[in-house]
Structure 1
């Protein structure tokens, strides 16, 4: 029986040698190679059945080399060691994973067992890099070039002459060949993927800020070879976990994100792990990273200065949460404009609000309920400003006439409300495109200090920033004279 089992091993080894083009060597060596490739060392202790019958053996059991009993059925010999002379005697398998493999192979059906070693080897050799029935070896043989030369030409390497590159590309197009993306990613240890992370406190994909920026990113990435995925977090506290999952599971090569914070653990984490990224905004955490920023210090300073020039002295600031860097910069600019005009800073006129219409409306109600309410309000965000307009109207006042309002980032709906919202420009589409271009440059090795840009926004004057009105002796309002608008954008 032992001789019969060995004979069958030799027959199977001959088949596998032909089927998988194993190297020519002695038969014991071939048998060992088969065992290694399919992780089936338990065959030394089990006999093969005589008939070639189909098998329903679990693929996962074969892949992970589980116990002999799971593969051959039954519990015989379960508690005995392989060195035991009685080991395997009572195990009479009615099915065999090898016979199943042979039967399916002869029928031309796909193999259900794939050795991890041979699978990765096939990728490394480029066997799966085919679309029109030709792999890279066959393409190289057709051109009478080495496989490495063809590979370099397909990857636009500089050490290949233009004539050879052109010849290879033309042949690849003629034969319908293109390198398999999965094989290429495996070979380069790269995911060819960039993540665009939608950052709290705004997590809605429908917001124009993120949509415009994402469209800009997409425009820049069209011909880069990278795909862009979008990820989001439900809260500030859990966002760092999203970053860790993306990086530690090797799902992305680089990241883009916005709404930087004064103390930003995302930036600290990415710098520590040396992960390429570009942020929309600056941070106090570090300045050693690439960024594009629209300067909200200008929004706070120029917005407040605009109202001062219109005659207002009670000027409020409704800003986004203070932990956001752009909000902190607005606050600094606002205070700077008051100091320049020698107007006392009143802390009660600075109100933090959620970035939403409801947040702005609630802030307006609180400000207008003060004993000495403001006559003008600078808003750090247009969604906040739209809520402020509603809150002013709810108190019986007329927005733009009784209380002036200036927004911060040119929301598309701002021009259609009544009164039309005066605000500042925010080129988010251009910013997204520039961020993507910076990321590609960073991946190519450009130092981060050369990839830092701060853009100054422009004031867009509409109708909501009316001049201060003071009642005369008869109770009528006298309208102040509007200042010149030579440096502002009229819209």
Structure 2
């Protein structure tokens, strides 16, 4: 392994110039930067992380805070692995490391975050599972710790955020189902106070109202974000005397369990009930095929990383065009699960 002194000797330039080039500083000629990075790769340069952190007062670590009880159960880990890949693609350019910070479902997320911050573990943070009112935002803002959120909140301290287009999904789905004759449409939402559930249900209600319809409170099903949660929703729906003719599944993790619950009762998606959900790698194996929304999770991760670095003084000049706030649109993939059409 090669250190910075050996790298400087090999290139016959000063240690200071090599250091600035490796750290992405703007006062380095682009050709020199290219030579330094190329030589670092060829010679296997590995920075002395402990010494570097002491000198700079940084850790070169970015933490991604997740809640194990709600986000990485079932297929959720598939979603985040792709997001992580996109994030680390950006961080690798700057020799930054991404670390997942897993908050147990039995611990208060605010207390967990305070403990992480007190240890000075990371230079910046990415928060997920954003709540309707999220005190974590104000805590980090007061301590001037750079952070970006995957998800919106009514709490707003001016931080950058990216979120999926849950409102767009609700509007497109309701319009599509109403056009096929459906009037009694159910929706799902996460079981906790995560903000995406509010966004999705509220827009579903507005979309139905635009067609002169109302969202029946009995047709709002809360569930855990996993296969078991989807199965439970199916059981609850089947037990109803006046069943809905269509349903929207807000979370990609519940479709498999929902299909299983319907199958056990002899109810077939697309024939007996219309279903629109969100695509996952596993949903491609469902039969009949799921009509659902999809996105590039890796690209979402890249955008998250760039939005965060744009707020950090050491990197902001490298990302002047990073979008600080964006609703990430998804594409609808048509399947057979919403083929059930009611007579006019």
**Does the pair score TM above 0.5?**
yes
Q: TM-score range by the shorter chain?
A: 0.7 to 0.9
Q: Do the aligned residues in 1 keep the contact of 2:128 with 2:149 (CA within 8 Å)? A: yes
Residue from 5, 8, 19 that aligns with 1:154: 19
Q: Distance in 2 between matches of 1:415 and 1:429?
A: 19
SS at match of 2:125: strand
CA drift at 1:388? 2.1
Contact preservation (8 Å) 2:65, 2:126 = yes
Tell me which residue corresponds to 2:330: 457
Match status 1:307 vs 2:172: no
Residue 336, structure 1, aligned to residue 209, structure 2: no
2:259 maps to 1:389: yes
1:133 & 1:293 partners in 2: Cα distance? 40
Query: Which residue does 2:145 correspond to in 1?
Result: 275
Partner of 1:439: 308
TM-score, normalised with respect to structure 1? 0.61
Equivalence for 1:180: 48
CA RMSD, aligned part only? 3.4
**1:426 maps to 2:295:** yes
Question: Does the Cα contact within 8 Å between 1:322 and 1:328 map onto a contact in 2?
Answer: no
Q: Highest CA radius of gyration, 1 or 2? A: 1
Give the distance between the partners of 2:87 and 2:42, measured in 1 at CA: 33
Task: Mark the CA change 1:377 to 1:236 in structure 2 (over 3 Å): closer, same or farther.
Answer: farther
Range that drifts further, 338-347 or 443-452 = 443-452
**Which residue of the other structure, out of 241, 246, 262, is the alignment partner of 2:132?**
262
Residue 171 of structure 1: how far off its partner (Å): 11
Residue 222 of structure 1 pairs with residue 92 of structure 2: yes
Distance of aligned partners of 1:401 and 1:334 in 2 relative to their CA distance in 1, 3 Å threshold: same
* Aligned mates of 1:401, 1:307 — CA distance in 2: 14
Contact 2:303/2:322, CA 8 A, preserved across alignment: no
Instruction: Specify whether residues 169 and 356 from structure 1 end up closer, same or farther in structure 2 by C-alpha distance, changes over 3 A only.
Output: closer
Separation in structure 2 between the aligned mates of residue 345 and residue 166 of structure 1, nearest angstrom: 58
Secondary structure in 1 matching 2:311: helix
CA contact (8 A) 2:64 2:126 kept: yes
Matched residues in 2 for 1:131 and 1:335: separation? 61
Query: Residue 193 in 1 paired to residue 61 in 2?
Result: yes
Summarize the Cα distance change of 1:456–1:135 in structure 2 as closer, same or farther, 3 Å threshold.
Answer: closer
Q: CA deviation at 1:173?
A: 10
Cα distance in 2, alignment partners of residues 316 and 176 from structure 1: 57
Shift in alpha-carbon separation, 1:236–1:311, aligned structure 2, 3 A: farther
Alignment map for 1:7-406 (pairs within 5 Å): 131=2, 150-156=15-21, 180-199=48-67, 200-204=69-73, 207-235=77-105, 237-286=107-156, 288-321=158-191, 323-406=193-276
Which consecutive unaligned segments of at least 5 residues does structure 2 have?
Answer: none
CA distance in 2, matches of 1:273, 1:419: 51
1:414 aligned onto 2:287: no
Residues matched between the structures, number:
335
Q: What per-residue deviation string (whole Å, max 9, x for no partner) do you get for residues 145-191 of structure 1?
A: 9xxx6424532355577899899999999999876332221111110
Normalised TM-score (structure 2): 0.85
| Residues 1:163 and 1:150: Cα distance change in structure 2 (over 3 Å) | farther
Q: 1:175 to 1:284 in 2, by over 3 A?
A: closer
- Once structures 1 and 2 are overlaid, which stretch shifts more, 196-205 or 446-455? 446-455
Answer 1 or 2: which has greater strand percent: 2
For the 8 Å contact 1:389–1:405, the answer to whether it is kept is no
Give the 3 Å change call, closer, same or farther, for CA 410–160 of structure 1 in structure 2. closer
Change (3 A) 1:248 1:400: same
